[in-house]
Chain A
Amino acid sequence: MPCKKCLKEPVFALISGEKLCRKCFNSYFERKIRKCIRQYGLIEKGDRIAVAISGGKDSSVLLSLLSGITRQMKNIEIFAILIDEGIRGYRPFTKKDAVNLCKKLGIKLYVYSFKKEFGMDLDRMVKKLKKGPCTICGIFRRYLLNKAARELRANKMAFGHNADDEAQSVVMNLFRSNNDAAARLGVVNGIKKDARFIPRIKPMYFMLEKEITAYAFINGISGKFVECPYAGSAYRGEIRNMLNDFELRHPGTKAGILSSFLETLPLLKENFMKEGGIGFCRKCGEPTSGEECMACRLLKELHS
């Protein structure tokens, strides 16, 4: 069956069953992201946005789109930050793709590494700490991204998180009864009014990873598929497989999770966001919900 709109050969079928040709798919994709940016006020005049990139398809598509969108707007600056965790056989490849993309788009890229910042790369940390690699990586990445964005005078950080990532997080927090973490999700998070905490925006919140991969392929954006050697060990992987099985049998499951979650998010924020705003680590001054941030606690363990 041809594209419903222009009768050309279809390249993608939406959840609704509607089939779109290359041109109509691109237009659908870009329109949906612009709508999200507009609806949630993600980009405003005077913004200096740090785009967190990894060289993977999600953040590469995000950077390409934001580069185009912000070029049409006045007084908006964007640049990219890449965190090099030091994962052999993975990060060097994606880093190369990120460098090439930034060069092509004419966007300044800043690279921060675990080794330089924490004195050790992730591969070594994993051997020393009795914690899952994704937990360790997540804690240090969040810490370093916030610090880097602040040092580089960004007032917002943009992430390539997609509908699949968010639906997985919602279900994970539900299964683990982690309402504090659930209250921090959403299209914009960390929107605490404190200069030390850079708010995070997710313009691709409503896009499925299948749609993002299709957009990347059609427009020649991302490089070769490389899988993180630690990816298989994550609890998230189990949730991802479960949701994909559900999505196959009941199309629209992921969109349903997000829609229902966004309706309950204001209540979660009201009940589970700590009173008086965010706290700051007594050791390093970075944002934390306790007295000492997780990164400082892990660093103590690493160097003991």
Chain B
Amino acid sequence: MKVYIEKTGKTANAKAPSVAALLKKLNINPVTVLVVKNGALVTEDAKLAENDTVKILSVVSGG
């Protein structure tokens, strides 16, 4: 699936069964991000499929 990481502005290809597994794979601390699946905010236990579009939003203030 395509994963867009807001903080770096980069898109990566990744495969993971759930949001928690995806963040672990990308070495991202879940405390610091929100995950949007196909346009909707989801929790860490949300399941992911190959054709999902995922956005990882940074919760850390920019200033």
Contacts and interface: CB of A to CB of B under 8 A. Distances in A.
A231 B60 CA distance: 11
A274 to B, nearest CB: 30
Contact of B63 (A210, A231, A244): A231
A217 B57 contact: yes
Interface string B25-63: 000011110101000111111000000000001111111
Contacts of B7: 225, 227
Contacts of B6: 225
Given A90-B63, A228-B63, A244-B32, A218 B58 contact: no
Contacts of A231: 62-63
A10 B44 CA distance: 10
Most chain-B CB neighbours within 10 Å: which of A19, A22, A244? A244
A58 interface: yes
- Interface size class on chain A is 20 to 34
Contacts of B62: 56, 90, 94, 225-228, 231
A51 B59 CA distance: 21
A13 B43 contact: yes
A11 B32 contact: no
A212 B40 CA distance: 16
Interface-centre pick from A57, A165, A213, A226 (highest chain B CB count, 10 A): A213
Interface string A90-112: 10001000000000000000000
6 contacts: A58-B61, A209-B59, A210-B32, A225-B57, A227-B7, A227-B62
Interface of B: 6-7, 29-32, 34, 36, 40-45, 57-63
Given A58-B61, A225-B62, 13 more contacts: A1-B45, A11-B41, A11-B42, A13-B45, A56-B61, A213-B57, A213-B58, A213-B59, A214-B59, A217-B34, A217-B41, A225-B58, A227-B63
